[in-house]
Amino acid sequence: MHRTRRLSWAIAGVLAAGAAAAHAAILVNGAGATFPYPLYSKWFDEFHKRNPEAQINYQSIGSGGGIRQILEGTVDFGASDGPMTDEQLAQAKVPLLHLPTVLGAVVPIYNVAGAGTLHFTPEALAGIYLGTVTRWNDPAIAAANPGTPLPDAAIVPVHRSDGSGTTYIFVDYLAKVSPEWAKRVGRGTSVNWPVGLGGKGNEGVAGLVRQTPYAIGYVELIYALQTKQPYGDVRNRAGRFVGATLASVTAAADAAAAHMPADFRVSITDPPGADAYPIASFTWLLIPTRIPDENKGRILKQFLDWMLSDGQSFAAGLGYAPLPPSVIAREREALARIAVGS
């Protein structure tokens, strides 16, 4: 009799502990851009340390995936570096907010032994990806890099095989600087690439370039830094060759920050400004304005609030530029529009 009762209490205790543990963790699921993934991964980890009950599970499947999954409602939030189009927004079951999180840069990485830091003109980049510039010692590249020995080897362009905001940023830039690109290929998170190999995610592109001699690819800066691959300068609208740095990316956002539209969807590629880096962009979290689950909504709002204050301090360490203060202020106003609970 005693043994049975003790056993029942033990079982009840275990169940209660299990139930308590299960209630303690609130899992919020998000998916999308690989562009900011290293930073988001750090943010969610840090936020989890500060709020042990909050588990924000983010899967970097590409901006296209983030947009699609949030439209279908299979994740709690999305992430994209290519802003959603009006048609896409119209498909959303619940109106979505674009909330900028950080500024990043898309850099051209390449695998050419002994080349150092190469300078790329817009024409060279467009030509490489259009297939008109095919060898590394082509004048389009050589003219901008006097004194650097360039091999007479075929260029292997690498692009994204999945739907990508990084792609969107890059082709948005190409479309602005190359009329032929705009006409032939256009803008989108997935495009019909004239040439090149496809890699899955920023990770896949960086991996392919790393393993393929004479390859060139475009990735978010942090992927070049973390894999220690050389990346090039790009000539901006003012005519200067600028590399992706904290200062140059922040400068790129200056002009846009002053005229930020209400829904935060803005492109800052090919900006004016002598020090501005030409292929930079905001990256956004796609948050529904109505979140029925109270716990999830609370966690998300807490995270967004933290992200706008303490979170920004992690950006520089990973090669991203923090948001301009004016943008942060406007975002806090926008946060209030997120309704939690039924």
| Chain residues that interact with another protein, rule: CB under 8 A | 21-22, 25, 27, 29, 31, 37-38, 41-42, 44-45, 55, 57-59, 61-69, 71-76, 87-88, 154, 156, 161-163, 185-193, 196-201, 203-204, 206-208, 210-212, 222-223, 226-227, 229, 318
* Distances 334 to 15, 102, 145, 339 between C-alpha atoms, Å: 42, 16, 46, 11
Least Å from the CB of residue 258 to another protein: 31
Least Å from the CB of residue 257 to another protein: 28
Give the position of tokens 């948050």: 287
Nearer to another protein, 12 or 25 (CB): 25
Contact (Cβ atoms closer than 8 angstroms) between residue 196 and residue 157: yes
Least Å from the CB of residue 251 to another protein: 26
Nearer to another protein, 51 or 254 (CB): 51
Query: 294-308 vs 325-335: helix axis angle to the nearest 10?
Result: 160
d(CA 165, CA 33): 6
Any residues with CB less than 8 A from the CB of 213 and at least 6 apart, and which? 111, 112, 113, 153, 156
Least Å from the CB of residue 57 to another protein: 5
d(CA 103, CA 16): 45
Contact (Cβ atoms closer than 8 angstroms) between residue 339 and residue 290: yes
User: Looking at the chain, which runs of residues are DSSP E strands?
Assistant: 26-32, 54-60, 77-80, 96-110, 119-120, 156-160, 197-199, 215-220, 233-235, 241-242, 280-288, 290-291, 339-340
**How many residues comprise the chain?**
342
Nearer to another protein, 276 or 286 (CB): 286
Q: Is 49 exposed, middle or buried (0-12, 13-18, 19+ CB in 10 A)?
A: exposed
Least Å from the CB of residue 4 to another protein: 29
Least Å from the CB of residue 314 to another protein: 10
Least Å from the CB of residue 278 to another protein: 22
Look up residue 225 and give its two tokens: 């830094």
Supply the DSSP symbol for 293: -
DSSP string, 209-247: HHHSTTEEEEEEHHHHHHTT--B-EEE-TTS-EE---HH
Nearer to another protein, 61 or 304 (CB): 61
Least Å from the CB of residue 32 to another protein: 9
Nearer to another protein, 231 or 236 (CB): 231
Least Å from the CB of residue 107 to another protein: 14
Contact (Cβ atoms closer than 8 angstroms) between residue 278 and residue 235: yes
Nearer to another protein, 136 or 260 (CB): 136
Nearer to another protein, 227 or 275 (CB): 227
Nearest 5 degrees, angle CA 236-CA 238-CA 244? 35
Nearer to another protein, 135 or 330 (CB): 135
Nearer to another protein, 194 or 241 (CB): 194
